[in-house]
C-alpha cells in the first residue's frame, strides 16, 4: 500500500476536516502513519519520512524547507483538503511533486452563500428588514422593496471556480448575468451563457455586483471610489472574495455619501475589521465573519475530493484538481 501521513501544524483541523469516517476511509486505502506530523515534531519522525509517498493535509499545512524536503526522498504527491495552496506549494512543484487542492469543493458553499445573498438583495431584503422594524414605516406601508428576481442584471467579478459555480446556480433564475474577468475569452463567456463586460460596466449596470477576484499583486486595491460611485441606485455590493481587493476607505466614503447602496461583506482587510472601523457603524453595511467558505458539515466534502483525487492518482487516471506553477499566478 502507498505510505501516507498527515502533515499539518493544526492537528485539530485534521480531526475537523477528515471527520465522519474520512480518516478511517483513508486508513483503508493507504498505509497511514498513526501520528499527525507537525513542524515541531518533524525531525522526530525521520524514519517514517524516508518512506513517505503521499501527504494529506488541510488548513495548517506548513511550507516545507529544503532540509525537510530532503528528508522526504520518496514524496510524490500532496493532497490538500482546503483552498489556496500558495503558501506552501512552490517548493513542492519545483521538485516535480504533485499538488492537489480541494478548492473546487470549497467553491460550492461560497457560490451557494452568494446566490442566497443575490436573491435576497434583488428583493430589497437587507433594506426592507431595517424599514420593517420601524413602526412608522412598517405600519405606513413604506418599507423599501427591490426590483425582484426577474430580468435584473447581476455583475460577477471573476470567473474562477467560485464564479463559474455561481453562474451555474444562477441559470435556475431569470436573471441577466454579466462577468468581468480579463482571463475570460468571449468564446468562453458565450459557452457559459454570460456577457463579458469591463470593470466599469459591471459596476455601472449591475443591480448586484459580487466580487470573486483573487488576491494577487495586480488586484490589490483595484475596487476603488470611482467604481463604487458608478453603482446604480439601490444597488448591492457583495464581497465573498478577498478584502484586500477593495480600497476600504473609498467604499466607506461612498456608503456614507450613498445610503441607498448596501454592502454585504464576508471578507475585509484586515480581517476582522479593526475596532474603530466604520463598517461596524454604517447602517447599510452587513458584516459576516468569513462564513461563506466550507464550515461545519461542509468541510468533509473537501476530504472527499482529496480521497477521490488520490484514488485517481493511484490508478493513473487524470486529475481534476492538480495545481501547477502557472496556475498559481492567478489563483487566490
**Tens-digit pLDDT profile for residues 171-222:** 999 999 999 999 999 999 999 999 999 999 999 999 999 999 988 888 999 9
Q: How far is CA 27 from CA 23, 76, 92, 253, in A?
A: 6, 18, 24, 54
Domain ranges of the chain: 3-105+296-328, 106-287
**CA-CA distance, 60 to 57, in Å (whole number)?**
8
Q: Which residues contact 309 (CB under 8 A, 6 or more apart)?
A: 79, 100, 319, 320, 321, 322
Query: Where would I find the beta strands (DSSP E) of 182-302?
Result: 195-196, 208-211, 236-239, 262-265, 285-287
Q: At what angle do helices 22-29 and 300-314 cross, to 10 degrees?
A: 10
Q: How confident is the model at residue 48 (pLDDT cuts 50, 70, 90)?
A: confident
The phi and psi torsions of 256 (rounded to 5 degrees) equal: -70, -45
Q: How confident is the model at residue 327 (pLDDT cuts 50, 70, 90)?
A: confident
pLDDT of 289 over the 80 cut: yes
The phi and psi torsions of 108 (rounded to 5 degrees) equal: -65, -55
pLDDT score for 332: 59
pLDDT of 110 over the 80 cut: yes
Q: Which residues contact 280 (CB under 8 A, 6 or more apart)?
A: 273, 287
C-alpha cell at 273: 475589521
Specify the CATH superfamily of domain 106-287.
NAD(P)-binding Rossmann-like Domain (3.40.50.720)
Q: What does the pLDDT average to over 265-270? A: 98
pLDDT score for 326: 87
Residues in the chain: 332
**CA-CA distance, 235 to 207, in Å (whole number)?**
5
**CA-CA distance, 60 to 12, in Å (whole number)?**
10
**Tens-digit pLDDT profile for residues 139-173:** 999 999 999 999 999 999 999 999 999 999 999 99
Element (H, E) at 40: none
Q: What does the pLDDT average to over 226-230? A: 98
pLDDT score for 190: 97
CATH of 3-105+296-328, one of 3.30.750.80, 3.40.190.10, 3.60.15.10, 3.40.50.720: 3.40.50.720
Q: What does the pLDDT average to over 254-271? A: 98
pTM, entire model = 0.92
**Tens-digit pLDDT profile for residues 52-87:** 999 999 999 999 999 999 999 999 999 999 988 999
pLDDT of 24 over the 70 cut: yes
- Residue 69, burial from CB neighbour count under 10 angstroms (0-12, 13-18, 19+): middle
Q: How confident is the model at residue 47 (pLDDT cuts 50, 70, 90)?
A: confident
DSSP per-residue codes, 166-181: HHHHHTTSEEEEEEE-
Q: What does the pLDDT average to over 230-242? A: 97
Is 3-105+296-328's fold the same as 106-287's?
A: yes
- Spatial contact of 122 and 148, defined as CB atoms under 8 Å apart: yes
Amino acid at each position: 500500500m502507498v505510505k501516507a501521513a498527515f502533515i499539518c501544524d493544526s492537528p485539530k483541523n485534521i480531526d475537523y476536516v477528515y471527520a465522519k469516517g474520512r480518516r478511517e476511509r483513508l486508513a483503508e486505502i493507504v498505509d497511514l502513519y498513526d501520528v499527525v506530523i507537525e513542524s515541531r515534531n518533524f525531525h522526530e519522525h525521520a524514519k517514517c519520512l524516508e518512506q513517505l509517498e503521499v501527504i494529506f493535509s488541510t488548513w495548517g499545512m506548513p511550507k516545507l524547507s529544503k532540509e525537510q524536503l530532503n528528508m522526504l526522498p520518496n514524496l510524490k504527491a500532496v493532497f490538500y483538503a482546503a483552498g489556496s495552496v500558495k503558501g506552501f506549494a512552490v517548493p513542492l512543484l519545483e521538485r516535480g511533486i504533485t499538488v492537489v487542492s480541494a478548492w473546487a469543493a470549497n467553491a460550492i458553499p461560497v457560490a451557494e452563500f452568494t446566490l442566497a445573498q443575490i436573491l435576497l438583495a434583488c428583493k430589497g431584503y437587507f433594506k426592507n428588514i431595517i424599514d420593517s422594524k420601524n413602526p412608522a414605516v412598517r405600519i405606513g406601508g413604506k418599507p423599501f422593496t427591490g426590483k425582484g428576481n426577474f430580468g435584473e442584471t447581476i455583475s460577477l467579478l471573476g470567473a474562477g471556480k467560485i464564479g463559474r459555480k455561481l453562474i451555474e446556480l444562477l441559470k435556475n433564475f431569470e436573471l441577466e448575468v454579466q462577468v468581468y474577468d480579463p482571463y475570460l475569452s468571449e468564446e468562453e463567456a458565450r459557452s457559459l451563457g454570460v456577457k463579458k463586460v469591463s470593470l466599469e460596466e459591471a459596476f455601472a449596470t449591475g443591480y448586484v455586483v459580487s466580487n470573486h477576484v483573487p488576491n494577487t499583486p495586480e488586484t490589490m486595491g483595484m475596487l476603488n471610489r470611482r467604481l463604487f460611485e458608478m453603482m446604480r441606485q439601490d444597488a448591492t455590493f457583495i464581497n465573498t472574495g478577498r478584502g484586500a481587493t477593495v480600497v476600504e476607505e473609498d467604499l466607506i466614503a461612498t456608503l456614507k455619501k450613498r445610503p441607498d447602496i448596501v454592502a454585504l461583506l464576508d471578507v475585509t482587510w484586515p480581517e476582522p475589521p479593526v475596532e474603530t472601523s466604520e463598517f461596524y457603524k454604517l447602517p447599510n453595511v452587513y458584516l459576516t465573519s468569513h462564513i461563506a467558505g466550507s464550515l461545519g458539515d461542509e468541510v468533509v466534502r473537501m476530504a472527499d475530493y482529496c480521497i477521490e483525487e488520490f484514488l485517481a492518482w493511484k490508478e493513473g487516471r487524470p486529475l481534476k484538481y492538480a495545481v501547477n506553477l502557472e496556475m498559481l499566478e492567478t489563483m487566490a
